[in-house]
Each structure stands twice: as structure tokens, then as C-alpha cells.
Structure 1
Amino acid sequence: MDRYAGALEEVADGARQQGRYYQLLSALQSLVKDLPRYQRLSYTTLSDLALALLDSTMFEIAQGLLEIQHLTKKSLYNRHLRLQNEHRGVAVLLCRGLPAP
């Protein structure tokens, strides 16, 4: 009996996955229909994208990449400010006729 219960759960899970797939595909098709004809994606591409979105791993990867992007931006911004301050200091010294370090 447990074997049948497990099989029924798998069927129900498959049906949920399929329903979610069609929801995603429909949403993607709605987004694409507003694009100019030459920029539209094929049904196959949209289907592949919907299948990829079913897997939560894609969202985890995207979230990780977003965090890396934010950290990189913050690091580059701080580096930019540091260099900007150094250049201001050098400019002040040069304006006063002093040698640059």
C-alpha cells in the first residue's frame, strides 16, 4: 500500500510541476508579446526557459550572482573614492608648488 501512496504522490507532484510549467510559459509568452517581432523568442526558447525556472537552483545561482555583484560594486566604489581623494591631495600639493609624493 505504501508503494501506491508514493506513486500517487509522484503523480501529484508531476501534475503540480506541469501546472507550474504552463504558468511560467504563459507568463513568458505574455512578456514577449509586447516586444517587436524581430526581438521575440521562439516557443522552444520560452519552453526551455520555463523548464529552467522550475528548478530552484537557478534562483539560488541568480541570488548568489546578485550578492557578488553588490559586493563588487561596493568594493569598486570605495576604491574609486580612495583614488579620488588621493588625486585631490596631489592636485592641492601641485597647486601649492610642492612636489607630488
Structure 2
Amino acid sequence: MNDVLSLLPAVFAGILLGIIFFGGLWLTVNKGLGSKRATLIFFGSLILRMGIILIGFYFVGGDSWQKMLACLGGFLVARIAITNITKKIKQTDPVFIKKVGDEN
């Protein structure tokens, strides 16, 4: 039982890292699609998000594979949560992209 409790901080850290990664991805897609510098936004976001996640996983799970696995589990839980939240936001607030030649 004590071993499971020692893994809870790693799970919560994984959830936080997942929120940062997938929330940042969602923000990047929303801001980058309408931007003139989409390539720079997407590439910069990728480098920043991957750097944060790699450093986070290194510090959280650096001394044991159990903590690394617990952090990964939290990361995946955050992925599922962010996916569900963004689906609900998308359903309530649809974004329409204008096509070339549309007159409005």
C-alpha cells in the first residue's frame, strides 16, 4: 500500500504534464490555423511542448521505472480528459473556415 501512495505524486505530475502538452497542442491548432506564420507557430510549439515534457518526465521518473510508468499513466489520463473537453467545446462553439471564393 505504501508503494502505491509513493507513486501518486508521479501520477499527478503526469496529469499536469499532459494538460500542458495537449492543452498547448489544442491552443496551437486554434491559433495556428488562421495565422500567416503557421509553420513557425506549429514548429515552435512542438519544440517548447516536447522540451517541457521531456524535462518533466526526466525529473519525475528519473530514479525508477515505476515512477516513469505512473507519470505516463497520468499523462494518458490527461490526454483523454483534454480530448473530451475539447470535443464538448467544439460542439458548442463551431468554427467555420472560409473557403476561397466564399462571399459573406
Q: Identify the structure with bigger relative contact order (alpha carbons < 8 Å, sequence gap 6+).
A: 2
Larger helix proportion of the pair: 1
Q: TM-score range by the shorter chain?
A: 0.3 to 0.5
What is the TM-score when the length of structure 2 is the normalising length?
0.38
The structure whose Rg is larger is 1
